Chain A
Amino acid sequence: MGPIREIDSKLITETVKGLFLEANTCLGADVLAALQISLAREESALGRQVLARMLENAAVAREESAPICQDTGLAVVFVEIGQDVHVAGGLLNDAIEEGVRQAYGEGFFRKSVCDPLSRANTGDNTPAVIHVEMVAGDRVHLTVMPKGGGSENMSSVSMLLPTAGREGIRRHVVEAVLKAGANPCPPVIVGVGIGGSIEESLILAKKSLLRPLGQKNSRDKRLNDLEQDILADVNRMGGGPQGFGGTVSALAVHVEMKPCHIASLPVAVNIQCHVARHREAII
């Protein structure tokens, strides 16, 4: 263990704020590239028109610092904090919430968080959804992900039979995407988490969405193959961009996996719309 490094909580607030301001207005280079590739591949003329407008919108949003989508999402934040770090001047969670509050205020982003029963809006898009993981070292790795409600609503976790196997998982995921149809704003990115406990499968699915588009699953060739098979199945369905018909219903399928109980096979599907927003920084 190294010496303790102090990180001012204000620096965390500033960083989170900057990341959300950028994520909600500037679509990542990986998504832009994936949309360009899709534009060349899409067989439907209407589908190509839709994809072209998505690219045009990304340019307008960047130019005007306007939200790419009006749904600027729940503020999901992944934190990897080195165990040699001490956050000074305040609590880590408070610092993150303040960054969210400032970004959503100053960015003129929609406040989309409410009390589940009364439906009263909290007014500043907090609370954020914060996942903290302790890691080695003396740095803090922050990843922000504004997550829209439409695609989140089409997500699920299922406890499949342990004997369902690879093909059972494949059919289950394809069925989930088919059922979602045009609701989650296709072309989508399909995040899949296999294994772990019920909640871990969901976190795996969500984290899989952070992998840059176009990057292969390098950890396990079996998962890479499964991703390609599911992607081909989904794009054969014919829904296409926005479900208006076409060959690009999904930009990518990302699968992450962890060992699970001998009695279980949790499979989580977290669907992400084409406005796949995430930004990261290391302090």
Chain B
Amino acid sequence: MQNYRSIKTPLTDDLCASLHAGDMVLLSGEVFAARDAAHRRLQETLQRGEALPFDIRGAVIFYAGPSPTRPGRIIGSIGPTTSYRMDPFAPLLMEQGMKGMIGKGKRSAEVVAAMGRYKAVYFGAIGGIAALTARCVRSAELVAYADLGPEAILRLELVDLPVFVINDTQGRDLYEEALKRSKT
């Protein structure tokens, strides 16, 4: 696709610093699908002083809970869930090395500040196009918390998932800039 920059996970400080709000990105590589209940468990794991169930250094977390996989398919429909619900947990995970988040909707001031501090990026994926997004998933495997059903943590191998930089390491915000543009 035109005007898209291709990047691959895991993400580094330099790569994150080179991404800017509004950038259109085709994201490939390993990401971890995790949402509400899984985040709570990740936090509890860290509070107990235990290791996380996957290596979070340089990792990208996709706030998503796919629909069940039909026989013979790689994954069901998949797309971003609303990100603010993971705001209470995101700074802690960035402190542990998480470099990217994929979701939809605005983040808290604390999360945006943490992105500057830990050199991490927040990407928006298009919500409600989950049959199409599933085509970017080349493999999916369970990582942890099978008992959470649709909220279990999955390791996904992505190829060219179109995402848009919402918040960058410099504190810019695509959503706010869009609203401001309309006022001028």
Contacts and interface: CB of A to CB of B under 8 A. Distances in A.
Interface of A: 46, 50, 53-54, 56-57, 60-61, 64, 66-72, 108-112, 119, 121, 123, 149-150, 153, 181-185, 236-240, 242-246, 273-275
A236 B131 contact: no
B90 to A, nearest CB: 16
Interface of B: 24, 36-37, 64-70, 76-79, 81-82, 84, 104-106, 124, 126-135, 148-151, 162, 164, 174-175, 177-183
Given A183-B104, A243-B105, A273-B128, 7 more contacts: A53-B126, A54-B126, A61-B77, A64-B131, A66-B131, A237-B182, A245-B177
B149 to A, nearest CB: 5
Nearest to B182: A238
B178 to A, nearest CB: 3
A239 B105 CA distance: 11
A273 B127 contact: yes
Contacts of B24: 46
A111 B151 CA distance: 10
A283 to B, nearest CB: 28
A242 B150 contact: no
Contacts of B135: 60
Contact of B182 (A53, A60, A236): A236
A39 B4 CA distance: 21
16 contacts: A53-B126, A54-B128, A61-B131, A66-B67, A67-B67, A68-B77, A70-B66, A70-B67, A72-B67, A108-B70, A119-B36, A121-B148, A236-B182, A242-B127, A246-B178, A274-B128
Q: What 4 A-B pairs have minimum CB-CB distances, sorted nearest first?
A: A238-B182, A245-B178, A57-B129, A183-B105
Nearest to A245: B178
A72 B65 CA distance: 11
Contact of B128 (A46, A57, A239, A246): A57
A69 B47 CA distance: 34
Contacts of B127: 69, 150, 185, 242, 273
Interface centre among B81, B132, B162, B183 (most CB of A within 10 A): B132
Contacts of B70: 108
Given A150-B127, A181-B175, A71 B81 contact: yes
A60 B180 CA distance: 35
Given A53-B129, A183-B105, A273-B127, A109 B178 contact: no
B5 to A, nearest CB: 14
Contact of B105 (A66, A182, A275): A182
B124 A244 contact: yes
Contacts of A182: 104-106, 124, 175
B174 A57 contact: no
Contacts of A239: 175, 178-179
B44 to A, nearest CB: 13
A275 B37 CA distance: 25
Contacts of B106: 181-183, 243
A123 B151 CA distance: 12
Contact of A110 (B36, B76, B124, B178): B76
B67 A275 contact: no
B37 A119 contact: yes
Given A121-B150, A244-B178, A60 B79 contact: no
A43 to B, nearest CB: 10
Contacts of A71: 79, 81, 130
Given A69-B127, A70-B67, A238-B183, A108 B84 contact: no
Nearest to B106: A181
B150 A185 contact: no
Contact of B124 (A68, A150, A242, A246): A242
Contacts of A109: 67-68
A236 B150 CA distance: 37
B76 A70 contact: yes
A240 B65 contact: no
Given A108-B70, A110-B66, A70 B130 contact: yes
Nearest to B183: A238
A112 B66 CA distance: 11
